[in-house]
Amino acid sequence: MSMHDDILKVLVSEEELKAKVAELGAQISKDYEGRNLVLVSILKGSVVFMADLMRAVSIPCSIDFMVVSSYGGGNTTSTGLVKIIKDLDGDLSGRDVLIVEDILDTGITLSNLVPMLKMRNPNSVKICTILDKPSRRKADIAPDYEGFAVPDEFVVGYGLDYDEKYRNLPYIGVLKPSVYEK
Ligand code: 5GP
């Protein structure tokens, strides 16, 4: 039984992701030249994007990871305020922080997280997300760098899960309705 059998349709292919990440990496390398860049990955959803994006960035940078509360197992609706479950290892003071996200959906997570990070005296805080679902936005927040806008559908793959599965799909897809009935 392959994971691919559970996919109804592919929204963003592996090739499209690869080309977009190269483009984003080149733009970020240009914009952050001579700065003090730290890529902050919000786990677990951004792990695949982070691994690809950091290799597409050609300027010196460091990386750090954070775990915040988001969707629970099997639940497909947002929960509310963000809680830090695992904090960053490094100090942000004087750093140019680029948050690396899987998807900007309601925007509630990042609209809560950005002010928390800004209190740590960084030089700047910006957002880079591979997916954007602007139709679902509840908070007043927009990405500084974005890969693809997706429709209001629950997507999986390229780091994004359903009940902790499908993160290892190399593309972004939509699940067959039968998967939710299992
Ligand atoms: P927010 O609604 O706060 O912008 O989104 C927070 C988190 O919810 C995202 O980082 C992501 O992990 C999860 N999320 C939002 N939309 C989707 C989706 O369509 N699929 C999956 N797998 N996760 C999503």
Residue-wise pLDDT tens digits, 40-60: 999 999 999 999 999 999 999
- 16: number of Cβ within 10 Å: 15
Residue with tokens 């290799």: 55
Closest residue to atom 23 of ligand 1, CA basis: 160
Could you tell me the strand order of the sheet in which 155-156 lies? 7-12, 172-175, 155-156
Give every CB contact of residue 164 below 8 A, 6+ residues apart in sequence: 73
pTM of the model: 0.94
- Catalogue all structural domains in the chain, each as residue range(s) with its CATH number: 3-173 (3.40.50.2020)
pLDDT in tens, 104-138: 999 989 999 999 999 999 999 999 999 999 999 99
Alpha-carbon gap, residue 92 to 117, rounded angstroms:
8
Give every CB contact of residue 76 below 8 A, 6+ residues apart in sequence: 154, 162
Among 6, 52, 105, 132, the one annotated catalytic: 105
Main-chain dihedrals φ then ψ at residue 159, nearest 5 degrees: 105, -25
**Ligand 1 pocket list (CB less than 6 A):** 45, 70-71, 78, 101-109, 154-156, 160-162
Q: Which two tokens stand for residue 97?
A: 């922080």
105 labelled catalytic: yes
Alpha-carbon gap, residue 154 to 160, rounded angstroms:
10
Ligand 1 pocket mutation, candidates 8, 40, 70, criterion most atoms within 8 A of CB: 70
Strand, helix or coil at 137? coil
Q: Which of 2-16, 51-65, 70-84 has the lowest mean pLDDT?
A: 70-84
